[in-house]
A = this chain, B = another copy of it.
Amino acid sequence: MGAVKTKRMPRAVREQQMLDAAVRTFGQRGYMAASMDEIAELAGVSKPLVYLYLNSKEDLFTACIRREATALVAAIRAGVRTDLPADRQLWAGLRAFFAHTAQHPDAWSVLHLQARTHGEVFAAEVTAMRDEIVTFVTQLIAAAAREAHRNPDLPEREVAGLAEALVGAAESLAAWANATEGVTARQAATTLMNFAWSGLGDLMAGRPWSPPEEEPLTRPGG
């Protein structure tokens, strides 16, 4: 099992192989239960090589977190068109988020579970990324308030709390969507938009938030 044993690769390539193996192992076994032996074997290299390139288990884990955090943020960024109204932007970001986490479950486990559970240092690493996202959402909310010409100065902390709640709900739904057979990224995003934008009150009253006409992620037009 593991990568085919191809000898003599340039360092950059080998490092990515190692990170792949590490993300998979950390994601499935957990940070502490993952052994460097297993990671090395899965990467198809000897343990000393892992240490030569990545220094230590901690450094290796940090490298995993950084790579995956960057990738997740990039995926979300790539999905959002900043010239659209706030709810559309949110909708696009959520779809990208749910799609990415569904496609990289081990990476998501590393970011969402493992990194938060094994020490401040690692947690800080994810927090940095998460803050980026929360800030993005916070700005969207503020923009929406401006667009609505109403309630323009919700207290800052209130907005922060709302963004936090939204991001938290998204994180939770990601796990739920991955675990529930047949829930697509699109459906998860729709559910969350309903919940977050319209609120349960409006929902009960039959006023759901409605997703825009088909608007493929890849095509630019509207």
With a 10 A CB-CB cut-off, give which of A161, A167, A200, A204 has the most chain B CB atoms: A200
Q: Which single residue of chain B is at the shortest CB-CB distance from A201?
A: B197
Q: Which residues of B sit under 8 angstroms from A197, Cβ to Cβ?
A: 199-201
Is A99 among interface residues, defined by CB-CB distance under 8 A?
no
Contact (A172, B161) CB under 8 Å given A151-B203, A196-B195: no
| B176/A164 in contact, CB under 8 A | yes
Given A118-B33, A150-B205, A165-B172 in contact, is the A200-B196 Cβ separation under 8 Å? yes
* Copies of the polypeptide in the assembly: 4
Q: Is there an interface contact between A204 and B151, defined as CB atoms closer than 8 Å?
A: yes
The 0/1 profile, CB within 8 Å of B marked 1, for residues 151-183 of chain A is 100100110011011111111110110001001
CB neighbours of A158 from chain B (8 A): 191, 194
- A residues in contact (CB < 8 Å) with B: 30, 32-33, 87, 113-114, 116-119, 141, 144-145, 147-148, 150-151, 154, 157-158, 161-162, 164-173, 175-176, 180, 183, 187-188, 191-192, 194-206, 209
